[in-house]
Amino acid sequence: MPDLSAFPITARWPAQHPDRIQLYSFPTPNGVKVSIALEELGLPYEAHTVRIGQNETWLPEFLSLNPNGKIPAILDPDGPGGKPFALFESGAILLYLAEKTGRLIPADPAGRYETTQWLFFQMAALGPTFGQLGYFHKFAGREIEDKRPLHRYRDESKRLLGVLETRLTGRDWIMGADYTIADIAMLGWVRNLIGFYEAKELVEYDALEAVPAWLERGLARPAVQRGLEIPSRE
């Protein structure tokens, strides 16, 4: 049985199954990327709820694994060389899991890099922009009288959705016929934008065709449905 005691995070969130991947997360658009991937891959894992609303990511135990204080993070007891391995940043974790299993990413180098570029598109553009729009549209930012920040992120969100619409036109998934980590990275964010952030009308989502069809296909996947609820919010 693997010994994970050298990792301080296990003192706060003890591993009941130390032979499984330990997931430290919360069901946000970034968090569910990893739970969806784990569900799609069928890898044994144990999910630990890190209550971001109670600032648990800033506890010393969590910071010992991710000094940036953000979910998600994982601890794999069977990492490279068969040794326990800790990793943070959702995009890096998706790449790690895909390469660990040889699934959810093309085997040929060109396809792999093309998938990676769309993963980075989500990390660098889609996620941050949608998150800022959510802040200025639904949360504390909506009280700011100057609406230029809201309009900036609204317009950029519409532009990014247009990029996604162009890519998905004539395709079932980002990479065509193959569902990959690029799709997993974006599904939760688009779902959040039109749902939790209540920005559907603001970004004129109903004017799109390919993106809504893609989102519907993605949300219909059983692994996605499970992953969106992991870990428990309780």
Region 133-157: what's the mean pLDDT?
96
42-58 pLDDT, tens per residue? 999 999 999 999 999 99
pLDDT for 172: 98
Q: Same domain for 117 and 211?
A: yes
2-41 pLDDT, tens per residue? 889 899 999 999 999 999 999 999 999 999 999 999 999 9
pLDDT for 1: 76
Structural tokens at position 43: 């890898």
Q: Same domain for 116 and 210?
A: yes
112-124 pLDDT, tens per residue? 999 999 999 999 9
Please tell me the distance from the alpha carbon of residue 112 to that of residue 58, in angstroms, as a whole number.
34
Q: Which long-range contacts (CB under 8 A, 24 or more apart) does 91-97 make?
A: 91/33, 91/119, 91/120, 91/122, 91/123, 91/185, 93/33, 93/34, 93/37, 94/33, 94/34, 94/37, 94/119, 94/181, 94/184, 94/185, 95/119, 95/181, 97/34, 97/37, 97/38, 97/41, 97/43, 97/181
Region 185-211: what's the mean pLDDT?
98
Looking at 103, 131, 151, which one is the last position of a domain? Answer: 103
Please tell me the distance from the alpha carbon of residue 31 to that of residue 9, in angstroms, as a whole number.
17
Share the mean pLDDT of the chain: 97
Determine the structural domain holding residue 99 and report its residue range.
9-103
Q: Same domain for 88 and 20?
A: yes
pLDDT for 234: 72
Q: Is the pLDDT of residue 193 over 80?
A: yes
pLDDT for 233: 87
pLDDT for 33: 98
Q: Same domain for 24 and 85?
A: yes
| Count of structural domains within the chain | 2
87-108 pLDDT, tens per residue? 999 999 999 999 999 999 999 9
pLDDT for 200: 98
Return the CATH number at 76: 3.40.30.10
Q: Look at residue 90 and tell me if it is in a domain.
A: yes
pLDDT for 155: 98
Q: Same domain for 114 and 215?
A: yes
Looking at 103, 134, 159, which one is the last position of a domain? Answer: 103
Q: Same domain for 51 and 136?
A: no
57-68 pLDDT, tens per residue? 999 999 999 999
pLDDT for 2: 82
pLDDT for 3: 85
Q: Look at residue 84 and tell me if it is in a domain.
A: yes
Q: Same domain for 191 and 117?
A: yes
211-221 pLDDT, tens per residue? 999 999 999 99
**Helices and strands (H and E) in the chain: how many:** 10, 4
Q: Which of 17, 5, 185 is nearest to 98 (CA)?
A: 185
Q: Same domain for 150 and 212?
A: yes
Strand 21-25 and strand 45-49: the pairing is parallel
Q: Look at residue 229 and tell me if it is in a domain.
A: no
Q: Same domain for 170 and 214?
A: yes
156-176 pLDDT, tens per residue? 999 999 999 999 999 999 999
Please tell me the distance from the alpha carbon of residue 183 to that of residue 16, in angstroms, as a whole number.
31
Q: Look at residue 231 and tell me if it is in a domain.
A: no
Looking at 58, 75, 103, which one is the last position of a domain? Answer: 103
Return the CATH number at 188: 1.20.1050.10
Q: Look at residue 190 and tell me if it is in a domain.
A: yes
Q: Same domain for 60 and 152?
A: no
Would you say 2 and 19 are in contact if contact means Cβ atoms under 8 Å apart?
Answer: yes
Q: Look at residue 113 and tell me if it is in a domain.
A: yes
